[in-house]
Amino acid sequence: MNQLRSLIAKTILLLMTALLFALPASACVGKTLVVGATGGIQQELLANMLAQLITERTGTSVKVVLQNSSSEAHDALLKDDIDMYVEYTGVGQLQILGAEPVQDAEQLYQQVKKRYNEELNLVWLKPLGFEAQGTGLDIPAQAAPVVRKDVLKKFPALARLINKLGGKINATTIAQLETDANRQGAKDVARHFLKQNRLI
């Protein structure tokens, strides 16, 4: 009898766990999420990666919208016109926050992440794995998705899903992806990368 009770309890626990993992992803369905891209092939690639990852894994409609600059994308994020975009830590620190330069990449990421979270209700997710020094900065510029906090509250699966891209794109990889995207188009290259890395 005790064994039967234990088996039933374990089965119920497994079912509840499965439901908890299934719910957040399906909870995204029914709303179109908007990913910003601040111009250039790199941004177009990364925006399409985010869009396709979310669509394929959750069934949510995702639209990529071009922004003219980081400042414009940041303002659009604050105004709820977009839900997320990929920013660079150096740009966030100097241009958005107007803060002092920090040379240590990890320290800079943590500082930017903390201030965005506390002051702007924006969340920096895991860095993608490369730095973009073409931003005209003399400090580290790690690329990472920035998402509105309310979006992550509504769709709890998103942070975990997007963070699967964390550390997956090094400097060599992004350079090759950009070359390929110039020939084949950002959407196709983004999709191939996600499939190759078994993310979709």
Helices and strands, number each (H, E), in the chain = 9, 5
Q: What is the pLDDT of residues 38-54, one digit of tens each?
A: 989 999 999 999 999 99
DSSP states along 38-55 = -SSHHHHHHHHHHHHHHH
User: Per-residue confidence at 107, pLDDT binned at 50, 70, 90?
Assistant: very high
Q: Which residues of 135-173 are buried (b: 16+ CB within 10 A; e: fewer)?
A: bebebbbbbbbbbbeebbeebebbbebbebbeebbeeee
Confidence of residue 120 (pLDDT cuts 50, 70, 90): very high
Q: How far is the C-alpha of 145 from the C-alpha of 43, rounded, in Å?
A: 11
Per-residue pLDDT at 133: 85
State residue 122's pLDDT score: 98
| pLDDT-derived band at 134, boundaries 50, 70, 90 | low
> 19-38, pLDDT tens digit by residue?
444 444 444 445 799 999 99
Question: What is the reported pLDDT for 11?
Answer: 52
Tell if the pTM clears 0.75, that is, is over it.
yes
Rounded-to-integer distance, Cα 191 and Cα 53, Å: 8
Structure confidence by residue, pLDDT tens digits, 153-167 = 999 999 999 999 999
CATH fold of 32-196 reads: D-Maltodextrin-Binding Protein; domain 2 (3.40.190)
pLDDT of residue 12: 54
